Structure 1
Amino acid sequence: MSNHSTNMNCSQNCSLYDMDYFDGYSDYPVNLFPIPILTGITVTCILLALIGISGNAMTILIVLKFKEMRTTTNFYLSSMAFSDLFIFVCMPLDLYRIWQYRPWNFGSLLCKLFQFVSESCTYSTILNITALSVERYFAICFPLKAKVVITKGRVKGLIFFLWSVAFVSAGPIFVLVGVEHMNGTDPLLTNECKATEYAVKSGLLNIMVWVSSIFFFLPVFCLSILYSLIGRKLWRRKRESVRPSISSREKNNKQTVKMLGKHTEKGPTFL
């Protein structure tokens, strides 16, 4: 059936409300990007999700199953793998939003919850990477002290504390995000899961942006310092390991020259 006949049928059979609905719907685009770009993004995300879910799940299962794999380092890796799994769980809703960012049809609670989970997991991953780097610093620079201070029980408690900090830091999401629509429009057409008007006007959104920035730049600063110290320590160890070999070689050469000198002074010995 042609577009002309379809329009004729609609004009004859549809109510005035239906006509307004379709006209209004065309005034509020639902796609953020062209279809080819959305398709490429979706395919890439699906592939990354398949690889990420399988890899992170295997990491957690291996650490749980094999006792010898339950080291402090692997505890941090398992925590980060657990965090990544939840991020991949939230990925379908993220894909839904880039395909259709309005209207949002899943309610306010799910809008708040999935963004809270994503934010919490991001914070947790950053904190776990920082804590693991601190552990590596102590293990390399202070190996004897690290064996006493860094224990499995303490690492488990620290991971629990880091997750608690991540949850508390992401808590304002429940206030900052919600389902809102444009004033004077039909909510069925323009509902969006986004930052609320209250969050923007009160300044809470700006505060949350600063918190997110701190969670990014502060760990980067700490990691830069820690790995610089680790690199300096390893360089010093390398130089110290080279010096004894050189000094011992020089000592052996001196002893050889001294022995040859004594042998020359005595003259050759014939049997």
Structure 2
Amino acid sequence: MCVMEGSGSGWCDECENGSIWTDQLLFSRTELAVVTALCVPLLLLGLLGNILTILVVWLRPQMRSTTYLYLSSMAVSDILMLALMPLDLYKLWWYRPWLLGDAVCKLSQFVSECCTFSSILHMTALGAERYLAVCFPLRARLLVTRGRVRALIGGLWGVAVLSSAPVMALVGVERVGGGDAECRSTQFAQSSGLMTAMLWLYNLYFIIPLALLTLLYGLIARTLRQRAHAHRDNTHRQTLRMMVVIVLVFVLCWLPFHVGRTLFSLTPEPGAGLYYISQYLNLVSFVLFYLSAAINPLLYNFLSARYRANVRSMLHLPPGPATELRHRAHPSLSSTHF
């Protein structure tokens, strides 16, 4: 994730008094050390949690519901994003000269954008699937099958790849300033209007799915309120609760990035104050970006008794106290909770 590209400005390699300078803004080594100290635990926890999510879905047959097929695919996306963290930390500390070549510059940004688009598309598709399951259960049984969901997941990744393809022309290695190579937005992207077009694409990928998910989850909540309480509806409520939390966390993690980039890009001649705000929003969004990739398994564990029980079983850990009590009270329901 090239958080500084959104501002249309690169880094300078001039370091004085233990600090790293941008064109107008100073990031101290202390600030960068804090960012690094926050991100490294996220890398370890995120990789462990997302790998466990994939394993528990594919090794435990009772976890291969259509919902968890989406979540395991999202876990793949999160792993790929987290795998790019060392490279992004390298960019933060030693942005210039760029020593890793043009291919690494382009591919790292492409993979980052592709995974971001993929996660958004997965959340939107899962929201639509939940809407069918709750509001049109008979139709959902015919339309929503594991085979079709697997095919749809492949299609979502295809759309994400196509949407991210322009990034290959958006960034590249160019020589600036004193002749040092830098991985940055290209002059072609800025002069041709490609950067502006991609900015609008990023914002549409954020705004439209958010609007659709708000509508779908609102309709689901209304339908559940109108129906008599039943065990299946309780399961739907648990699923809805978890998905709403996942979407809200995603929005909170990405909102500073979109606000900062849009605020700066739409201002014809941003002053030093606006540049300062934009760049520090980018620094905050750097941490939030990786938080969004690492936190989902923790949310599953906290909100889903089914996920929690199957992870403990896969790791040969004793069941938690709540699971034991529920199993003793309702043995037939112990595996049905989302």
- Which residue number corresponds to residue 136 of structure 1? 130
TM-score between both structures, scaled by the size of structure 2: 0.60
- Range that drifts further, 194-203 or 61-70: 61-70
Is 2:195 the partner of 1:205? yes
* SS of corresponding position for 1:208: helix
Partners of 1:231 and 1:206 in 2: how far apart? Answer: 37
Is 2:108 the partner of 1:114? yes
In structure 2, give the amino acid aligned to 1:41: V
* SS of corresponding position for 1:175: helix
Identity of aligned residues (%): 46
- Which residue number corresponds to residue 84 of structure 1? 78
Q: Residue 146 of structure 2: which of 152, 169, 177 is its match?
A: 152
Q: Residue 50 of structure 2: which of 45, 56, 61 is its match?
A: 56
* SS of corresponding position for 2:198: helix
- Which residue number corresponds to residue 162 of structure 1? 156
In structure 2, give the amino acid aligned to 1:114: S
Q: Residue 179 of structure 1: which of 173, 196, 206 is its match?
A: 173
Partners of 1:50 and 1:30 in 2: how far apart? Answer: 27
* SS of corresponding position for 1:104: coil
Partners of 1:25 and 1:124 in 2: how far apart? Answer: 34
Is 2:98 the partner of 1:97? no
Q: Would the aligned equivalents of 1:30 and 1:102 in 2 still touch at CA under 8 Å? A: no
Partners of 1:106 and 1:179 in 2: how far apart? Answer: 9
Partners of 2:115 and 2:42 in 1: how far apart? Answer: 17
Partners of 1:151 and 1:238 in 2: how far apart? Answer: 26
Partners of 1:31 and 1:120 in 2: how far apart? Answer: 30
Partners of 1:79 and 1:99 in 2: how far apart? Answer: 32
Is 2:228 the partner of 1:235? no
Q: Report the CA distance between 1:231 and its aligned residue.
A: 1.3
Q: Report the CA distance between 1:143 and its aligned residue.
A: 1.1
Q: Would the aligned equivalents of 1:31 and 1:98 in 2 still touch at CA under 8 Å? A: no
CA distance 1:35–1:26, shift in 2 (3 Å): closer
Q: Would the aligned equivalents of 1:31 and 1:99 in 2 still touch at CA under 8 Å? A: no
Partners of 1:25 and 1:174 in 2: how far apart? Answer: 24
**Unaligned stretches of 5+ in structure 2?**
1-11, 230-338
- Deviant stretches of 4+, over 3 Å: 24-32
* SS of corresponding position for 2:227: helix
TM-score between both structures, scaled by the size of structure 1: 0.75
Partners of 2:151 and 2:13 in 1: how far apart? Answer: 52
Let me know the Cα RMSD of the aligned residues. 2.0
CA distance 1:200–1:237, shift in 2 (3 Å): same
Deviation digits for residues 170-227 of structure 1 (CA, Å, limit 9, x no counterpart): 00111110011225x233xxx2111000100000111111111111000000001001
**Unaligned stretches of 5+ in structure 1?**
1-23, 240-271
Q: Report the CA distance between 1:26 and its aligned residue.
A: 4.2
The structure where strand makes up a greater share of residues is: 2
Q: Report the CA distance between 1:83 and its aligned residue.
A: 0.1
Partners of 2:116 and 2:34 in 1: how far apart? Answer: 24
Q: Would the aligned equivalents of 1:71 and 1:152 in 2 still touch at CA under 8 Å? A: yes
Q: Would the aligned equivalents of 2:20 and 2:28 in 1 still touch at CA under 8 Å? A: no
- Which residue number corresponds to residue 69 of structure 2? 75
For this pair of structures, how many residues does the alignment match? 213
Partners of 1:94 and 1:117 in 2: how far apart? Answer: 12
Q: Would the aligned equivalents of 1:30 and 1:101 in 2 still touch at CA under 8 Å? A: no
Bigger relative contact order, structure 1 or 2 (CA pairs below 8 A, ≥6 apart): 2
